[in-house]
Amino acid sequence: MAGGRCSSQLTALLAAWVAAATATAGPDQAALPAEQSRVQPMTASNWTLVMEGEWMLKFYAPWCPSCQQTDSEWEAFAKNGEILQISVGKVDVIQEPGLSGRFFVTTLPAFFHAKDGIFRRYRGPGIFEDLQNYILEKKWQSVEPLTGWKSPASLTMSGMAGLFSISGKIWHLHNYFTVTLGIPAWCSYIFFVVATLVFGLFMGLVLVVISECFYVPFPRHLSEHSEQNQRSEEAHRAGQLQDAEDDKDDSNEEENKDSLVDDEEEKEDLGDEDEAEEEEEEDNLAAGVDEDRSEANDQGPPGEDSATQEELEPEETEEAISEQPCPADTEVVEDSLRQRKSQHADKGL
């Protein structure tokens, strides 16, 4: 009995000792701090830290498998940040959509290098050795920097950050309606459409009020005077245009008159030339008739030679008679001259 009691007491003592040992060891083990991450989370409030010194940034999403594969490599790279004299940060695009819009992140994961406010996109693999060589060998110097409107510090990208922030808030609100409250998705869409229209009308009203506050209307007499001046200027311009048109019409009439006078003078000159030609033709015809008549008179037989002429053969007398001009031919010539004169007179008219 005594031995059994001793054994039970020893067992109880051993159990109490083990419990005390575990109780004393537990707080010591819990007091040991976990390994602290060297990667600094970046938000919209502290992202300006990257404008000074040298930084490497990683944009990721918790649901992205590729981002999860590079987490260990990124942590190892951050541990050697003091040796490389570089700071390492990360940005959750779900929690910070404004920063993703400021850097215009379209693929995940995305890496950026910053040196004194000058940003460059790192397109290599997210492996520790490649990242370390990128810094030690200064390969970033051969990469074209993001300058101008593409720079995250520019005004354009600041506006882009605002748009991404608004879109992120709308997305969170939509998830709250559909997931937390259980509202159908189409009801959420209708809500956002109505909210957009109301917001647009409200902003239009604000702009109208602002314009009315800053717009200074002219006094009534000044406005009437300006209207009178405007009307007088318009009347003066209309008068100038009418005068110009009248001048053009007058010049066209004068040109037409000059052209008509020139045409009449040309016709008169042509008529004079035709009359001169007709007179020449009449003179030539009259001269020809006179010559024919003189020749006929010259060939007439005198009294002394009557005997010799009687002896001429009848053929010679017939030829002489045929050579004499016939009065019918002269009448035809005169008729033709008269017709030509009447034709030239008609042309002159």
pLDDT above 90 covers what percent of the chain? 30
Domain CATH for 114: 3.40.30.10
CA angle at residue 329 from 328 to 331, to 5 degrees? 65
Q: What pLDDT is stored for residue 241 in this prediction?
A: 85
Given 64, 187, 213, 326, which residue is catalytic?
64
87 domain-assigned? yes
247 domain-assigned? no
Q: Could you tell me the strand order of the sheet in which 40-41 lies?
A: 40-41, 87-92, 54-60, 110-115, 118-122
33 band by pLDDT with thresholds 50, 70 and 90: very low
Residue 329 confidence (pLDDT) above 90 = no
* 163 lies in the same domain as 143: no
* 129 lies in the same domain as 189: no
* 106 lies in the same domain as 178: no
What's the mean pLDDT in 148-176? Answer: 88
Q: What is the pTM of this model?
A: 0.50
Of 215, 240, 265, the position where a domain reaches its end is: 215
113 band by pLDDT with thresholds 50, 70 and 90: very high
Q: Using only the alpha carbons of the chain, give its radius of gyration.
A: 62
* 142 lies in the same domain as 169: no
131 domain-assigned? yes
Q: What pLDDT is stored for residue 75 in this prediction?
A: 93
Contact 78, 88 (CB under 8 A): yes
* 162 lies in the same domain as 211: yes
32 domain-assigned? no
Residue 106 confidence (pLDDT) above 70 = yes
Of 93, 118, 147, the position where a domain reaches its end is: 147
Average pLDDT of the chain is 76
What's the mean pLDDT in 2-27? Answer: 44
Q: What pLDDT is stored for residue 319 in this prediction?
A: 46
* 166 lies in the same domain as 135: no
For the chain, what is the domain count?
A: 2
* 81 lies in the same domain as 172: no
* 178 lies in the same domain as 80: no
Residue 187 known to be catalytic:
no
Residue 115 confidence (pLDDT) above 80 = yes
Among candidates 78, 80, 79, 61, which has minimal Cα distance to 69? 61
* 138 lies in the same domain as 177: no
* 58 lies in the same domain as 132: yes
Of 90, 113, 147, the position where a domain reaches its end is: 147
Residue 64 known to be catalytic:
yes
List 55's β-bridge partners, or say none: 87, 114
Given 67, 187, 213, 326, which residue is catalytic?
67
CA contacts within 13 A on the Cβ side of 312 = 12
Residue 299 confidence (pLDDT) above 50 = yes
162 domain-assigned? yes
* 76 lies in the same domain as 172: no
DSSP class of residue 93 equals T
Sign of CA dihedral 130, 134, 139, 145: positive
Q: Among the listed ranges 194-203, 278-287, 308-317, which one has the minimum average pLDDT value?
A: 308-317
pLDDT above 70 covers what percent of the chain? 66
Residue 343 confidence (pLDDT) above 70 = no
20 domain-assigned? no
Q: What is the 3-state secondary structure (H, E, C) of 51-74?
A: HCCEEEEEEECCCCHHHHHCHHHH
List 121's β-bridge partners, or say none: 112
Task: Provide the domain limits for residue 130.
Answer: 40-147
101 domain-assigned? yes
pLDDT tens digits along 40-60: 999 988 999 999 999 999 999
* 50 lies in the same domain as 114: yes
What DSSP assignment string belongs to 23-51? HHHHHHHHHSPPPPP-PEE--TTTGGGGG
